[in-house]
Amino acid sequence: MMQETISIQGLNERSREIFRHIVEDYLLTGIPVGSRTLSRRLSVPLSPASIRNVMADLEDSGLLYAPHTSAGRLPTDKGLRLFIDGLLEIGDLSEEERHSIEGRCAAAGRNYTDMLTAASDLLSDLSGFAGLVTVPKNDQALKHLEIVSLSPDKALVVMVTVNGVVENRLMRVPPGLTPSALVEAGNYLCDRLRGRTIREARETIQREIESHRAQLDALAAQVVEAGLAEWAGGQDNPARLIIRGRARLLDDVTAIEDLERLRRLFDEMESKTDILNVLDLASEGDGVRIFIGAESKLFSLSGSSMIVAPFTDGSQRIVGSIGVIGPTRLNYARIIPMVDYTARVIGRLMG
């Protein structure tokens, strides 16, 4: 049967009330709602038989489905979308929640990777599900760069942008590199990168190394080349995505089918490229975006939802997204303003 496109305005008052009760119960309990239960809740009394007729019409429209024979009804992904777009009453954050978001993000300091990790942790804590965030590639002009030796094969790279944002990155160094060669590589990079982005300076530096105009120790040159290759890497770099609080998703498990759904979601999280593609979609416009189940190819198997919002840098450019991922039975009314406010706080701090 072809399912017609339907809007909230296309439902009569009786259908709208029954539909609203079913979706609200699902979001609260996850349990199908039957006609007898509904008959006790409606503002205008209706017999269970009349309610079943309305439920059947809503099912024919693709808004509800029956998980088992003779069971109550649950909303489909299409039904959830209709509810969110047309009936959902968005809540507001308490002052305590606003202060908590601002305080946790600001406490992470000027290292924006730490700040975004803290924000993702915070969203996981507040929502009870998993928080996720993209760490934007640092394409701001640099003011300072320093390489600090940590061990014979590891070094810490400290980069400070002209906007004062500090980013720390670990990198491997070639065997046999002396401390003086490491300092030499750091000084060389700092001189060439000052006032320029890594991408802008990359070709010039590589030409200098290839033509031997860069007076660098051979091992120091390896450090410079390895650093440039890693720091200006491709868009599919999985380190751009941070997911926190995965274990919280297990708290919502009530049945074997829930475990299978979670297994698929964890598989999707491991394949970070697909999630990054969805987050990139969220960065194409202002405001919160909601991806529900089969609406997105990514979540068609796991039946999950993701609520995300973009955040900006000091130039008001959208540079990343932050949000919450979990089952379709999310508390949308509470999480939507939470994600939106966190994204705006990040934007202020990055500015």
Bridge pairing between strands 74-75 and 142-151: unpaired
Could you give phi then psi for residue 256, rounded to 5 degrees? -60, -40
Report the pLDDT averaged over residues 15-36: 91
Q: What pLDDT sits at residue 285?
A: 67
Better-predicted residue by pLDDT, 68 or 39: 39
Q: What pLDDT sits at residue 71?
A: 72
Distance, in Å, from the CA atom of 225 to the CA atom of 210, rounded to the nearest integer, reads 10
Q: What pLDDT sits at residue 108?
A: 66
What is the overall mean pLDDT for the chain? 82
Q: Which residues pair with 149 in a beta bridge?
A: 155
Better-predicted residue by pLDDT, 232 or 260: 260
Task: Tell me the pLDDT band of 68, cut-offs 50, 70 and 90.
Answer: confident
Q: Please say whether the dihedral angle defined by the alpha carbons of residues 235, 237, 240 and 242, taken in this order, is positive or negative.
A: positive
Q: What pLDDT sits at residue 239?
A: 44
Could you give phi then psi for residue 163, rounded to 5 degrees? -85, 0
Q: Which amino acid is at 51?
A: I
Model confidence pLDDT, tens digit, residues 99-118: 999 998 888 666 777 888 89
